Amino acid sequence: MLKRVGHPVDEKGAAVAIKDATFPVPFAPGLEFNSPVHGNWNIVHTGMLMPEARQIYVCADNCMRGVVLTAAEMNAADRFSFVIVKEENLLNGNLEDITIEGVTDVLNKLEEKPKAVLLFTVCLHHFLGCDLERVYQELEERFPKITFIRCYMDPIMQKHGPTPDQKLRKAIYEPLPKRKADEKAVSFLGSDFVLEKNADLKRIVRAHQGIFRELPGCKSWEDYLALSEGKLFISSYPPSKYGAEALSERLKRPYLYLPGSFDYEEIIAQLENFCQAMGYGKLEKTISVEEEIAACEKALEKAHEVIGDTAVAIDYLYHPRPLGLAKLLLTHGFRVIRIYLDSISPEEKAEFEWLKEHAPDLQLIATIQVKMRVLPRTSDEKILAIGQKAAWFTGSPYFVNMVQGGGLYGFDGIRRTAELMAEAFTEEKDTEDLVVRKGWGCESCI
């Protein structure tokens, strides 16, 4: 029997003080709410990073709507095609033929053929046991000059094994050929954003007259292929790890996972490992750790002078390490009151334990728990939000508008975060307008 949900709705099940939270899942799974915050990148955005490539989706029209709109909204519809699967195709058992002939028709109509096709098959192909090997074999024989990349839009697998996002970040590097390693080159894998020019890793590579390559910076197919020339493969965004490890194993190239961090000691250890792997010698030969930390402390102090005792809310969409950011801010005098997240990364177990002890009343608040649809999204006090979801759920126009780390890294990332916080505190934004735009950082036609 349906029961009307009245007001007021309590926060039980959707919010918990960190002292009472369980690790790594503080909220019970159940019916989920999808907020209108769309700044995070999806598989369409990420696929568009491949230069001179085209995405082709094969699915039913109800599922097609979202991906078509994403391509259109980012003004990239000219690199996007689709094949609609209808009910009779399922009943007749010819999904392989529909996929092959549909893709063939799309490609034959193109005056200029792409270097690569990201072919997305979907849940239906899994349900019906489609022979995908036959599909790809036939297409590769028909179009031998095109590289076909095996991609999946199968949200039914979202919580079982690698996610569609992880699988795509693996697939887009599978065409890279085996090439001789360039002793001066580093390849940065799996990120949607170019690292900022003053990110620690880039500064170190520049100091040694090295080459730093990354997919978001590739302008041509040859630029993309050159990624395989890196002496060392590195990645920092957690969903990239799965694919970067696979590429490293296939090309027999050393790999380092150097996740973005807000902890000085962790940053130092990562940079030292990087310098050793590249043969640069000790880190201190390139940058002064004392000066880096001093600059971070100065940036944080300056931001605190502006922000003062104003409440701060953080969300996981801003950066994969929201607990680490909360710890950094709390230890520098900021009043962090909320963190919006639905689960806690195993990488943040130590930060979770620290916050339980030193900030026991810090609130963890879900973003997908169904009560979040009706709970109040206002506050009696000014809140500085770090991230789009924190801004939307608090109703604050004062927020740092960035997702997924946004190209920040290391000591420089800490300094830039402090600067962005100070800017956000004094500059109002149109929250309702900005957060609905898909793919932060992409060109938007909205």
Assess if residue 37 is contained within a domain: no
Locus of tokens 């001179």:
52
Please indicate, yes or no, whether residues 145 and 269 belong to a single structural domain of this protein: no
Q: Are strands 15-17 and 363-365 parallel, antiparallel or unpaired?
A: antiparallel
* Residue 272 shares a structural domain with residue 303: no
Confidence category of residue 94, pLDDT binned at 50, 70, 90: confident
35: in domain:
no
CATH number, domain of 69, equals 3.40.50.1980
* Domain boundary residue, one of 171, 203, 222: 171
Question: Do 319 and 416 reside in the same domain of the chain?
Answer: yes
For residue 158, the model assigns a pLDDT of 58
| pLDDT at residue number 406 | 96
Other beta carbons within 10 angstroms of residue 384's beta carbon come to 26
State both tokens at 367: 């973003």
Q: Which domain holds residue 414?
A: 289-434
114 and 209, same domain (yes or no) = no
Nearest CA to 256 out of 248, 266, 267, 264 is that of: 248
Helix axes 264-278, 410-426, angle to 10 degrees: 140
2 within some domain:
no
Q: Which residues contact 235 (CB under 8 A, 6 or more apart)?
A: 188, 189, 190, 191, 241, 244, 255, 257, 258
Give the number of domains in the chain: 3
* Range 412-416 average pLDDT: 98
Predicted confidence (pLDDT) at residue 29 exceeds the cutoff of 80: yes
With beta carbons less than 8 A apart as the criterion, state whether 122 and 59 touch. Answer: yes
**In the predicted structure, residue 258 carries a pLDDT above the cut 90:** yes
The alpha helices in 83-219, defined as continuous H runs, are 87-91, 95-108, 123-127, 132-142, 164-171, 200-207
Place of tokens 């009560």: 371
What is the predicted pLDDT for the residue at 301?
A: 98
pLDDT at position 313 is: 98
pLDDT band with cut points at 50, 70 and 90 for residue 61: confident
Please tell me whether residues 70 and 153 are part of one structural domain.
yes
- 190 and 280 in a single domain? The answer is yes
**Other CB atoms within 10 A of residue 69 CB:** 13
* pLDDT reading at 285 higher than 80: yes
Asked if residue 441 has pLDDT above 60, the reply is yes
Q: What pLDDT is stored for residue 125 in this prediction?
A: 80
**Domain for residue 430, yes or no?**
yes
Residues 296 and 429 in one domain: yes
Task: Give yes or no for residue 217 having a pLDDT over 80.
Answer: yes
- Alpha-carbon distance of 48 to 26, in angstroms, equals 35
In a domain, 11, yes or no: no
Q: State which of 245, 262, 285 marks the end of a domain.
A: 285
Residue corresponding to tokens 């640069």 = 280
Backbone angles phi, psi at 97, to 5 degrees: -65, -40
Whether 269 has a pLDDT exceeding 70, the answer reads: yes
- Strand-pairing partners, residue 149, are 118
Residue 117 belongs to some domain of the structure: yes
8 A C-beta contact, residue 413 and residue 375: no
Decide which of 171, 195, 221 is a domain's last residue.
171
Given a cut of 60, whether residue 1 has pLDDT beyond it is no
Three-state DSSP state, 255:
strand
Q: Are residues 273 and 297 in the same domain?
A: no
Q: How confident is the model at residue 90 (pLDDT cuts 50, 70, 90)?
A: confident
Q: How confident is the model at residue 3 (pLDDT cuts 50, 70, 90)?
A: low
Q: What is the pLDDT of residues 114-145, one digit of tens each?
A: 999 999 998 888 877 889 999 999 999 999 99
Same domain, 187 and 249: yes
The CATH number covering residue 335 comes to 3.40.50
210 lies in a domain? Answer: yes
Position 282 scores a pLDDT of 96
Q: Let me know whether 200 and 74 are in one domain.
A: no
Looking at the domain assignment, is residue 443 inside a domain? no
Which pLDDT band holds residue 91 (cuts at 50, 70, 90)? confident
Give yes or no: residues 77 and 162 share one domain. yes
> Is there a single domain that holds both residue 309 and residue 428?
yes
Q: The sheet that has 211-214: what strands, in order across it? A: 211-214, 182-188, 230-235, 255-257
